[in-house]
Structure 1
Amino acid sequence: MAIGLNATEPEETCSDENCPFHGSLSVRGQTLEGTVASTQMDKTVVVEREYDVFVPKYDRYMKRRSRVPAHCSPCLDVEEGDEVRIAETRPLSKTKSHVVVETLEGDA
């Protein structure tokens, strides 16, 4: 099933209703890329993004980090340290409003 993004559908199937490929969850809004920092929760991963912010007073850049909790369906095999792409959805819980769409291939 096409989800509206240029993402490859996983070979495994699942019965998760919050899966963007096999369930009824629609994705909309922004897509982000980051590294999986934690997989300790059930069906949830924490994706960490690092970015630079310009500080005019010192005329330099400062590193900032943001951690985004995202829903991870059982059909996706995600481990800590993987580079993933997440997409915005409707609120799934108090903190989760993103879902893992795909793992990115790279030199990570």
Structure 2
Amino acid sequence: MAIGLDVTQPPEPDNPEEYDYETCPFYGELPVRGQVIEGTVVSTDMDRTVVVEREYEVNVPKYDRQMKRRSKIPAHVPGVLEPLAVGDDVKIAETRPLSKTKSHVVVEVTEADA
């Protein structure tokens, strides 16, 4: 993995013959670059995809205040990461487009609600 992320390596794939190495940043050929974003998983309804919501503040110069904004980002989940649940805090990294909407991949689960 590029970018200098200090992410612990997940365990090896269980079945190497059937594993999708093309979309794995850990054991495959998927390069990560650009932004690394922290957020919370809000949806796990899709197959190998989660929707991550991040909250950030934007300056409003007219009122000299900060305004909170939210954005939802679909991200690919590599097969070597444990199944994610709604409410998990994750780090996602930018990568090449994987589909029409996915251009990020989950690289670390920072905290899980258990």
**TM-score normalised according to structure 1 size:** 0.88
Unaligned 5+ runs, structure 2 = none
Counterpart in 2 of 1:103?
109
- Which aligned segments of 4 or more residues in structure 1 are displaced greater than 3 angstroms? 105-108
Task: State yes or no: 1:58 paired with 2:63.
Answer: yes
For 1:68 and 1:96, locate their aligned partners in 2 and report how far apart those are by CA, in whole Å.
8
Following superposition, the deviation at residue 106 of structure 1 comes to 7.5
Counterpart in 1 of 2:92?
86
Following superposition, the deviation at residue 107 of structure 1 comes to 8.0
Task: State yes or no: 1:16 paired with 2:24.
Answer: no
**TM-score normalised according to structure 2 size:** 0.84
Following superposition, the deviation at residue 105 of structure 1 comes to 3.4
Counterpart in 2 of 1:46?
51
Q: Is the 8 A contact 1:16 1:22 kept in 2?
A: no
Change (3 A) 1:13 1:83: same
Q: CA RMSD in A?
A: 1.8
How many pairs are equivalent? 106
For 1:6 and 1:39, locate their aligned partners in 2 and report how far apart those are by CA, in whole Å.
25
Unaligned 5+ runs, structure 1 = none
